[in-house]
Amino acid sequence: MRVLRLKKKKEISGVLKTGRRAHAESVTIVYFPAKETRAAVCVGKKFGKSVRRNRIKRLLREAFRTNAHGMKPCAILLIPKVAEEYSYARFERDLRKLFKREKLFES
pLDDT tens by residue, 83-104 = 999 999 999 999 999 999 999 9
Predicted TM-score (pTM) of this structure: 0.91
pLDDT band at 107 (very low <50, low <70, confident <90, very high): low
The residues near 10 (Cβ < 8 Å, ≥ 6 apart) are: none
Q: What is the CA radius of gyration of the chain?
A: 13
The residues near 95 (Cβ < 8 Å, ≥ 6 apart) are: 24, 27, 29, 63, 64, 67, 78
pLDDT tens by residue, 42-93 = 999 999 999 999 999 999 999 999 999 889 999 999 999 999 999 999 999 9
pLDDT band at 18 (very low <50, low <70, confident <90, very high): very high
> What 3-state DSSP class applies to 18?
helix
What's the DSSP call for residue 40? E
The C-alpha angle with vertex 70 and arms to 66 and 76, in degrees rounded to 5, equals: 70
Q: How far is residue 39's CA from residue 57's CA, in Å, rounded to a whole number?
A: 12
> What 3-state DSSP class applies to 38?
strand
Q: Name all domains of the chain by residue range, CATH numbers in brackets.
A: 4-101 (3.30.230.10)
